[in-house]
Amino acid sequence: MGFALDNADAAGEVVEVLTESLTLKETPIRTKVARLMLVSDILHNNSAHVKNASAYHMHEKKSVSGLPFKKSN
């Protein structure tokens, strides 16, 4: 997460890499869960007093809405 905040000016690219890694079938489930936790941490800390940290919210909102999650009952 530190990397993400340190590079908040490149939020779009960071989000793109994370989103792509979540959609690859060959990515192990454990890795996907860890990356989802990273996304959660980034979104939780997007109000940090770091320049451009809030950019993650906008980029994540666009990317995550397109992820193919299955609904569970």
Per-domain residue ranges of the chain: 2-64
Q: Please state whether the predicted TM-score (pTM) of the whole model is above 0.75.
A: no
Which pLDDT score is estimated for 6?
A: 79
Task: Assess contact for 59 and 19: CB atoms under 8 A.
Answer: no
Q: What is the pLDDT of residue 63?
A: 63
pLDDT along the chain (73 residues), means of 10: 77 85 90 88 68 60 58 49
Q: Which two three-digit tokens encode residue 3? A: 């990397």
Residue 30: partners with Cβ closer than 8 Å, 6 or more residues away: none
Residue 55: predicted pLDDT: 64
